[in-house]
Structure 1
Amino acid sequence: MKWLYRLHLWVALSLGAVFVLLGLTGSLLVYQSTLDRWLNPELLQAEAPAEKRVTAADALETVEARTTDEEVVSFLSLPGAHPAVYRFYIGTPERSFDRLVTVDPASGELMGVRPVGKGLMRFVHVLHFRLHLGRSGQTLIGFTGLILLFSMISGGVLWWRRRGYRLRQVPLHHGFGVYAGLPLGVVVITGILLALPQYTRPAVEWFSPLSGLDLDHQSQVDETSKDIGLEQALRLAREDMPGGEIRSVGLPREPEGIYRLTLREATPSGWLAGSGRVVLDRYSGEVLAQQHWSEQSGGDRFMSALRGIHGGSAFGAWGQAVVALLGLVPLLLYVTGLRLWLRRRTRQQQTP
C-alpha cells in the first residue's frame, strides 16, 4: 500500500493548509450570528428583550423614511427570542440587497446601516464558501471537499491495514482520524453537496422530486388597488400556518410585486422541524402559493436540511458545539501528520 500512503501524503502536504483553513473558518461560522452581534453590538444587538415590540409595519415605516426615491426595502428578517433586532435590506430594484438597516424592536429607533457584504464574519463566510473567487471559487471548494474526503478515507484504510480495530497506543494522528472520522465525514459530505448544487440537485431528483416554490407570481393591479400592508400580510400568513413563527418577509419591490413569507412551523418539532412558505398578492391578500413543510417531498426536505446538518443547528446547541470542535480536527490532523512524516524522514536519513 505504499502508493496509497504516498498519495495520502502528497494530498496532505499540498492541500493540508486549505483543509485547515476550511475547518477553522467553519468553526467560526457555526456561531456566525452570535459573533457578528458581539462584534457589532451597536448595529445588531438590542439592549434588552423587548417586552412590547414596535410592530414590523412601524419599523418598516422608520426605514422607508430614510430611503431615497430610487431605493426600495426588499427584505425583512424578524427578531427571534434573544434580544435581536429588525433587519431590513434595501437597495435598488435591480440590486435589492445593497445595505442592511437595523431597527431596535423596543424603541423603534433606527440603529445603524451597513453595506451588505461588509463585516468580519461576512468575510469569513465568503472565504469558507467561495475563497473570495466568486462562483468558480465555490466550485473549487466543492472539489477540494472531495479531495479532503478521499484523504480521510485513505487515511482510514492505511490505519486499518496496519492496526485493525486496535485503538490503544496509537499515534495522535491516527486517533484523531479514527474517532472523529465519521462525524467529520458527515460535515464534509454535506459541505460538498452545498458547494456543488449543479450536481447535487439533479442527483437528488433521481430519488425524489424537487418542487421548490414558484416565485414568478405577480399581484393583480388596477386603479383601485391598495396594498394590504405588512401587518395584514403577517396576519394572513399566520392564519395559513397556525402556530408558525414568521422568520422573514420578502417585500414587494414593484407594483406587481408579492409578499413572500417564511415561517418556522409548529409541527413537527425538534430536529424534524422545518420551514413553510407563503406567497401573497399584495393587494387582495390572496394566497398565490404555499408550501407546508409536511407537504414537501423527501428531496425538498433533504435539500432544506443540508445547511442545518452541515452547521449542526439541526441538532440544537449540542450539535453546533460538536461541529465547531470538528472544525479543529483538520488542524490537529495536519500538525500531527506533519510531525509523523518528519520523524519518519529523519529516521530514514539516519539509517545507513
Structure 2
Amino acid sequence: MSKIALRNFWFQFHKWIGLILAIVIIPISITGSALVWHDALDKALNPQRFAFTSSEAALPPSAYAAAAQAALAPGERIVSLRFAKDEPVMVAAAQPRKEGARGRPGRTVVYMDPGTARVLDKADGNAGLVRFMHGLHGSLLIPGIGRQIVGWIGVAMLISSISGLWLWWPTVGSWLKGLRWKRHRNFDTNLHHQMGFWIALPLFVLSLTGAWISFPAFFGKISGDVQQSRPGQPDRAAMMRAKPIEKPTTSLDQVVTASTALSPDRITSVNWPTDVKPEWSVSFNGKTVAVDDATGTAKLDKPRDTKETTARLMRRIHDGTGMGLFWQVVIFIGGILPAILAITGIIMWWRARTWRGDLARRQKAKAQAATA
C-alpha cells in the first residue's frame, strides 16, 4: 500500500469513527470532564447536605441509625452507616423490591448532621444530576451491556487519537509546520488540527484507562490483577442482590461494644447483616471487625489487600483521584476538547459534502451545456 493510499485509509477510518460515534462521544466526554470535580459539584448542587454544625460525629452510631430510620419510608431497611471527616453522616437503606424486579434493589440515602443527627436531606441513591452523569459516563444509562458499549467506544477513541496524529503530521517538511495555526482557510479546520494534536496523548491515556475499567477481566489477565474470591464468601453479584435482615438478633449498640473491644479506633462505617451474609461489618481506618448476628461474637476480619494494583492505578489516572491538580486539569480539558473535536469534525464533513455536491452539479451543468 502506497503512502497516499495508507493516508487515505486512515483519513476515512478517522472520519467515520468521529461521525458515527459523535452522538455518544460528546456526552461521555463532557460528563467525564465534569466528574473530575465530583465533590465540589455535589456540594454546589446539594448545599443543604453540608449545612451541619459540626464535622465530627458526636453521638453513638445507634443515634444516627434511629434518626435515619424515622425518616425512611415503611419497608426500607438500613444497609450501611458511614462516617467521614467534613462530610455529613450518611445512612443508606434498601428500598422494597418490586414484584419481578431483578438486580440490586434501589437505595435511599439519608444525610445527617454529625453533631446532632438532624436529618439534612433524603434522596434516592440513583437520583440527582451527579448520579445521572455517573450513569451516563459509565454505561450510557443502558442496563446490562452499557459498560461494555462504553468500553468499545474507548477503544475506538484510542484508535482515533492515533489516526488523528497520523493525519496531523505534515506530509512535506518538518513536523513543526504542523504547529502553524493557518494550515487551512477555515477556522474550524485549524481548530480541529491544533486541538487534535495537543489532546492526542491525554486522549490516548484516558481512552486506554476507560477501556481498562470497562473490561477488568480481560485486562486483569494481562496485568496479573485477576481478583480471587475469598473462600466461603458469596460472589459480588449475590452480595449486591442481598437484602438486609429485617430484625437483627444483635443490636447495633452491642455490635459497637463488641467491635471496639478489638479495635478502639474511630469507626468509619457499619454494614448491616443480610440474608446472604448474616453478619455485621464494622470498619476502623483500615481494620474490619465482623460480628456474627446470631451470637454477637466479634472477630478481626482478614485485612483487605490495599496495595496499588494496575487496575486501581488505571482508575485513578482516569478519574484523577489522588493524582494532583495538574492531572485533574488535564482530564478536565481532555473531556471538553473531544466534544469540540467531534463538533468541528461534523462541520468539516458537512462542508466537504456540500462542496462536493456543488462541484458535481456544476460539472453536470457544464457537461449538459457542452452537448446542447
Q: TM-score under structure 2 normalisation?
A: 0.73
- The residue aligned with 1:273 is none
1:25 aligns with 2:31: yes
Q: Deviations over 1:152-199 (max 9, x none)?
A: 111112223636532530433222222222222222111111122343
User: Pairwise mapping of residues 138-157 of structure 1 onto structure 2 (< 5 A)?
Assistant: 138-157=147-166
1:306 aligns with 2:327: no
1:172 aligns with 2:198: no
1:253 aligns with 2:256: no
- The residue aligned with 1:80 is 85
- The residue aligned with 1:335 is 343
- The residue aligned with 2:368 is none
Name structure 1 gaps, 5 residues minimum. 218-223, 265-275
The structure-2 alpha-carbon separation of the partners of 1:210 and 1:92, relative to structure 1 and needing over 3 Å to count, comes to same
How far apart in 2 are the matches of 1:64 and 1:133? Answer: 32
Q: Which has the larger radius of gyration?
A: 2
CA contact (8 A) 1:8 1:154 kept: yes
How far apart in 2 are the matches of 1:150 and 1:255? Answer: 43
Shift of 1:5: 0.6
The alignment partner of 1:114 has SS state of strand
- The residue aligned with 1:7 is 13
CA contact (8 A) 1:312 1:322 kept: no
Shift of 1:262: 5.6
Q: Deviations over 1:74-118 (max 9, x none)?
A: 12232233xx20111112687665211111112211223212211
- The residue aligned with 2:291 is 281
Q: Deviations over 1:239-297 (max 9, x none)?
A: 6xx7xx86543232359623345666xxxxxxxxxxx5635124222013222424xxx
Q: Match for 1:91: what amino acid? A: A
Q: Match for 1:131: what amino acid? A: L
User: Pairwise mapping of residues 1-352 of structure 1 onto structure 2 (< 5 A)?
Assistant: 1-42=7-48, 44-50=49-55, 53-67=58-72, 70-81=75-86, 84-91=87-94, 97-160=106-169, 162=171, 165-166=175-176, 167-170=178-181, 171-204=190-223, 207-211=224-228, 216=233, 229=254, 231-232=256-257, 235=260, 247-253=268-274, 257-261=278-282, 276=286, 278-282=288-292, 283-294=296-307, 301-341=309-349
CA contact (8 A) 2:33 2:333 kept: yes
The structure-2 alpha-carbon separation of the partners of 1:303 and 1:214, relative to structure 1 and needing over 3 Å to count, comes to farther
* Count of residue pairs the alignment pairs up: 321
Q: Match for 1:181: what amino acid? A: A
Name structure 2 gaps, 5 residues minimum. 1-6, 98-103, 182-189, 235-248, 364-372
Shift of 1:143: 0.7
The structure-2 alpha-carbon separation of the partners of 1:213 and 1:76, relative to structure 1 and needing over 3 Å to count, comes to farther
The structure-2 alpha-carbon separation of the partners of 1:263 and 1:96, relative to structure 1 and needing over 3 Å to count, comes to farther
Q: Which moved more, 1:339-348 or 1:112-121?
A: 339-348
- For the aligned residues, what is the CA RMSD? 3.4
The structure-2 alpha-carbon separation of the partners of 1:185 and 1:215, relative to structure 1 and needing over 3 Å to count, comes to farther
Q: Match for 2:91: what amino acid? A: F
The alignment partner of 2:156 has SS state of helix
The alignment partner of 1:79 has SS state of coil
Q: Deviations over 1:12-63 (max 9, x none)?
A: 1221232121110111222233322322222x21345436633434212322
Q: Which moved more, 1:49-58 or 1:95-104?
A: 49-58
How far apart in 1 are the matches of 2:259 and 2:200? Answer: 45
Percent of pairs with identical residues: 25
Q: Match for 2:279: what amino acid? A: I
